[in-house]
């Protein structure tokens, strides 16, 4: 087992692991001309195009209030377009452009490659436990002390 820092401090060790995993993902996303968050946004839109910006922000773990610059960059790259929501003037729907759709197979292939390589490092039972743990961590709210 790898060394855990600060007597197994959860946050420190999750943060260290996240940096290492981010490096792995970055090595796959940069050749596509994307940063990691842009890659996530495209993956969300490949699952369901035309989602509201706030839904996409929640799906990728970002605050809707700080999400506009991410969409701006994707729009500048001609990968998405924003349209007013037909029933809610305050909401924006996000759609893939032709160029965004053309990246789909490469984005999905990169995701499968990374997930496969990560999964190979775990025994099947451990991978299931890891996935379960990730699900728990994603739903954490501030702890009451």
What is 23-114's CATH number, 3.50.50.60, 1.10.1050.10, 3.40.50.920, 1.10.10.10? 1.10.10.10
Give the whole-angstrom CA distance, residue 51 versus residue 81.
11
Q: What is the pLDDT of residue 145?
A: 60
CB-count burial class (<10 Å; 0-12, 13-18, 19+) for 95: middle
**Mean pLDDT over residues 108-127, rounded?**
92
For the entire predicted model, the pTM comes to 0.85
Give the whole-angstrom CA distance, residue 48 versus residue 56.
10
Whether pLDDT at 1 is above 70: no
- How confident is the prediction for the chain on average, in pLDDT? 91
**Mean pLDDT over residues 73-88, rounded?**
93
Q: Where are the domains of the chain?
A: 23-114
CA 45 to chain centre: 11
Q: What is the pLDDT of residue 10?
A: 84
């Amino acid at each position: 087992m790898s060394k855990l820092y600060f007597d197994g401090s959860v946050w420190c060790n999750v943060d260290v692991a996240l940096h290492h995993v981010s490096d792995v993902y970055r090595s796959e996303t940069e050749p596509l001309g994307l940063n990691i968050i842009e890659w996530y946004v495209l993956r969300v839109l490949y699952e369901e195009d035309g989602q509201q910006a706030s839904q996409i922000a929640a799906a990728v773990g970002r605050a809707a209030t700080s999400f506009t610059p991410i969409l701006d960059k994707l729009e500048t790259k001609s990968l998405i377009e924003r349209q007013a929501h037909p029933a809610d003037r305050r909401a924006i729907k996000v759609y893939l452009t032709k160029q965004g759709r053309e990246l789909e197979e490469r984005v999905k292939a990169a995701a499968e490659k990374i997930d496969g390589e990560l999964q190979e490092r775990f025994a099947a039972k451990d991978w299931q436990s890891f996935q379960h743990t990730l699900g728990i961590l994603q739903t954490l709210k501030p702890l009451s002390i």
